[in-house]
Chains A and B, each alone.
Chain A
Amino acid sequence: MSKYYLFQDAKNCIGCHSCEVVCKSNKDLPLGPRICQILTIGPRIVDNVPKAAYVFMPCFHCEDPWCVAACPTGAMQKRAKDGIVFVDHDLCVGCKTCMSACPWGAPQWNPEIGKVVKCDYCKDRIDEGLKPACVTICTTHCLHFGTTDEIPPLRRERYAKAMASLE
């Protein structure tokens, strides 16, 4: 995995898709590719109330990524310094093997340039000391980005509280 972690606190996500919009606008993407995507699970009836969950699906920046292994041209790479998996457009020829190889459907097709695009945690922004575009825009601040030890232990705290309230 990369040294970063992008954590979504799904409890606070309202499914507004701002992250998707800013991601596309930041990467100047046409109709089609969704580098990150909010997927709606549900609605399901829980205690007679319809409930839905919104799951944020970016790229997971795998430790040993299938996409990098599949790429015949060396365009898909893992950045040495922080493990970000990104695609070099100068090398990508649009064979889509990475898209087929990824179990999570992370690499996307940009029909305008005939090349693959994917989440690179906005590495240019990170290098400037900023956070990824999706995290910056997130309305409810449910997206958190940082090195693994910087991520707030929200779920653990929430679980602990829930346990405590059972008493």
Chain B
Amino acid sequence: MDKGTCPVANNVRALAGLLAEGRIPVARSRQWAEDILRLMKDVGSGRGGREHFPAMEALAKRLQWEGENKACVDLGKKLSSELQTHREVFLSHLETRNCPLGDCIELSPAPCQMACPAGIDVSGYVALIGQGQDSEAIDLIRKDNPFPWVCGLVCTHPCEFMCVRGRIDKPIAIKDLKGFAAERAMSEGRYNNPEKAPDNGRKVCIIGAGPAGLTAAYYLALKGYRITIIESLPMAGGMMMVGIPRYRLPREVIDREVAMIEDLGVEFRYNTRFGKEVTIEELRDEGFKAFFVAIGAHASFKMRVPGEDHFAQVLDAIHFLRRVALGDHHTPGKKVAVIGGGNVAMDAARTCIRLGCEEVAVVYRRSRNDMPANPEEVEQAEEEKIRFSFLTVPVAIEGENGRVSALHCLRTELGPEDESGRRRPVPVEGSDFSFDVDAVIPAIGQTVDKAGLEHLGGLEWSRRNTINVDRASMATTADGLFAAGDIVTGPATVVEAIGGGKRAAEAIDRYFEEIPQPKMPSVPARRQRLECLEVPASIKMVLNRPAMQTLGDDRRRVTFQQVELGLSEQSAREEAKRCLRCDICVRCGTCVDVCRNKMGVDALQMGYLNFDNPGHTDFRIAAERCILCGACAANCPTDAMRIEDRDGERVLSICGTILNHLDLEYCQICGAPLGPARYHDFIRKKTEETGLTTGDKHLCMTCARKAAAKAHGETMPPIA
């Protein structure tokens, strides 16, 4: 078998080939083999159910044991072993209806869903929002992520980087749509928990009430587990609460979504530091059989420059943000330097502005393009009049009388690329300069604060100070101990922690059920195949990604009010219509090839289908050139391209985008639809030289044949 190809697709191909060649000539065995093929095709097209796998296994065994000759027995053996070897892949196809390699073409995943660390069925919920079904969209999101509202406001949206619409104009505003739907559903009182399984009496202890811990708690509680969360802070949310400032993520948002999890019966023990206030032995005595460690990365890296440890006015960003989040709104100083170019640096700088700092400068050693912070964050920081000093590296913090007075820096130049692919900043000798500051906030990276975990035996720590786990099951090297979130990945994003928490919940359930853990990381599940929203090509082309309305600059400099004001209902519904539904269209380009190269019509201008060299896209061209022959639809492997006759018209659409529609002509005898005039003109032009057809009537195929037979019958001699 070729490496890197899907075993389901491979087996379907091989078995179909074998049968077509007539290699299983005995009727009974052939029937079994054909049945297996049919079941396998179901698996590879999302039509399979739970019973498919045992049914295929049973049929393969029958072939193996009862096959009439060697060929049948060998086939049975081979299929049995294939099913056993690739059991996990077959089951994953059945459960997720997603073929990550895209070999099972109807199960090709959408790029947005594959990019999402939590694997949310993006196309599905975008379509639901487009239909105005906000609470249904939230239900769908919460199958993979219990924090749609939080993520709708602060997610780093890797999905949008992969969005195919971005090859035409701008990606779909996936994050903003999610935030819109969550707020809507919550305010309408239609944000509900799914039904919980009955209590199974099993106790799981989760350490850390951050996104990873809360996510695991949610999915385990839904399965009937009794969950207790140990949290050192006085509130839930972890870094979402004490790392992300309120102007990006209001506390109410976290509180409401945490309350949904609390509603499932999850117990929270606040102000309890694991390893200090409570030990694992005590918890074991309480009856906890499994533990999930998700304490995050709440310690900061040091800058290692002179003066860093000498002044109270040097406060790392993580502590600073936590202090502010917990209610201390004292300004750190009048002139503040924030060191670093990531999102935490932006958060710290923008928080300083809101606390009343007069001047805030972000000092970053590389250039603007190298900043790891989200571009929107940087733009909003600039709108708030934060100064940026790029290509600058601090070398010392200077002070007078025990207070910080200046930051001593060097200019840098960008040298050759390092292993991260970014150019390494090299300090320029003699380019020293200082500027006056009275507070410095380093935000150069976080790490795990191991305090409390040192005595936990059996764990394997990496050099980066993270816990080594099995990436498929999030199981640590200690029995019954699982871990996810920043403590595994190092400082990362909310959505990555959510993805880890979800995987851990699945693994903890398997641990109790004594089901073997998966060998491969789970595949995002295609939750449902929703009908496409119907949009005329012209609308599809002219709709623009909505600009996020923001709070006025003045207000932003004085309050922690939410900066992004959310989408209006109209722009949210319209935005959902821009989606190209990549869960259905796999962008294989067959339609364009058929239309341009085979038919010579060239009506489809869809340059976005080409991943490497996207060309120009204009859906509207089809209405000018398309003859509605339907060859594109006939060759579409996923039914994305459709041709239908309705309301007197023949209509061509791709994933709901109406490319062309023309009035039908009808059979003059039976009234069956024949196709539009433009199609008949196309044919007439081609057959002109052959001569006129017999008669000038427009007839359908059936009536033409009947008429010919009748004429034939009448010319025959009378039946004697």
Contact = CB atoms under 8 A, between A and B. Distances in A.
Given A103-B694, A104-B705, A94 B634 contact: yes
Interface string B693-715: 11100011111111011101110
B709 A114 contact: no
Given A55-B713, A105-B705, A114-B634, A95 B686 contact: no
A159 B694 CA distance: 28
Most chain A beta-carbon neighbours within 10 Å: one of B601, B682, B713, B716 = B713
B716 A10 contact: yes
Interface in B657-706: 674-675, 679-680, 682-683, 686-687, 689-691, 693-695, 699-706
B56 interface: no
Contacts of B693: 66, 101, 103
Contacts of A46: 718-719
Given A46-B718, A97-B683, A37 B635 contact: no
Contacts of B599: 72-73, 93, 95
B598 A93 contact: yes
B690 A64 contact: yes
A79 interface: no
Given A66-B687, A159-B717, A93 B631 contact: yes
Contacts of A105: 699-706, 708
A111 to B, nearest CB: 9
B683 A101 contact: yes
B708 A57 contact: yes
B358 to A, nearest CB: 70
Contact of B717 (A73, A91, A96, A155): A155
B116 interface: no
B640 to A, nearest CB: 14
B687 A101 contact: yes
B687 A11 contact: no
Given A57-B708, A95-B629, A100 B634 contact: no
A39 B706 contact: yes
A50 to B, nearest CB: 11
B378 interface: no
Contacts of B717: 155, 158-159, 162
A94 B599 CA distance: 10
B689 A69 contact: yes
A142 interface: no
Nearest to A155: B717
Given A66-B687, A104-B704, A41 B709 contact: yes
Most chain A beta-carbon neighbours within 10 Å: one of B599, B686, B714, B718 = B686
Interface size class of B (residues with CB under 8 A): 35 or more
Interface in B383-413: none
Given A57-B708, A72-B600, A100-B675, A51 B634 contact: no
Contact of B630 (A10, A39, A96): A96
A94 B679 contact: no
A29 interface: no
> Would you call the interface of chain A mostly helix, strand, loop, or mixed?
mixed
B542 interface: no
Contacts of B27: none
Contacts of A115: 634
Contacts of B706: 39, 105
Nearest to A40: B709
Contacts of B695: 103
B720 interface: yes
Contacts of B674: 100
Contacts of B718: 46
A57 B686 CA distance: 25
Contacts of A94: 630-631, 634-635
Contact of A101 (B594, B686, B716, B720): B686
Most chain B beta-carbon neighbours within 10 Å: one of A39, A100, A106 = A100
A143 interface: no
A135 interface: no
Contacts of B680: 100
A84 interface: no
Nearest to A72: B599
Contacts of A158: 717
Interface in A41-86: 41-42, 46, 51, 53, 55, 57, 64-66, 69-73
A1 B710 CA distance: 21
B683 A100 contact: yes
Nearest to A113: B634
A70 B710 contact: no
A84 B713 CA distance: 25
Nearest to A63: B690
Given A57-B705, A95-B630, A104-B704, A69 B719 contact: no
Nearest to B674: A100
Contact of A73 (B598, B679, B694, B712): B598
Given A10-B716, A101-B683, A93 B690 contact: no
A104 B674 CA distance: 15
Given A72-B599, A72-B600, A104-B708, A93 B634 contact: yes
Given A53-B713, A97-B683, A37 B705 contact: yes
Contacts of A104: 704-705, 708
Contacts of A100: 674-675, 679-680, 683
A108 interface: yes
Contact of A70 (B600, B687, B705): B687
Interface string A128-167: 0000000000000000000000000001001100100000
A53 B716 contact: yes
Contacts of A91: 598
A57 B711 CA distance: 12
A44 to B, nearest CB: 9
A108 B695 CA distance: 21
A58 to B, nearest CB: 10
17 contacts: A39-B709, A53-B716, A69-B689, A69-B690, A70-B687, A71-B686, A72-B686, A94-B634, A96-B675, A99-B701, A100-B679, A101-B687, A105-B700, A105-B701, A106-B705, A107-B701, A115-B634
Interface of A: 10-11, 37, 39, 41-42, 46, 51, 53, 55, 57, 64-66, 69-73, 91, 93-97, 99-108, 114-115, 155, 158-159, 162
Interface of B: 594, 598-601, 629-631, 634-635, 674-675, 679-680, 682-683, 686-687, 689-691, 693-695, 699-706, 708-710, 712-714, 716-720
Given A64-B691, A93-B634, A106-B705, 14 more contacts: A11-B720, A41-B710, A41-B714, A46-B718, A46-B719, A55-B710, A93-B594, A95-B630, A95-B631, A97-B686, A103-B693, A105-B699, A105-B705, A105-B706
Give 8 nearest A-B pairs by CB, closest first. A94-B634, A105-B705, A41-B713, A114-B634, A39-B709, A95-B629, A105-B704, A105-B701
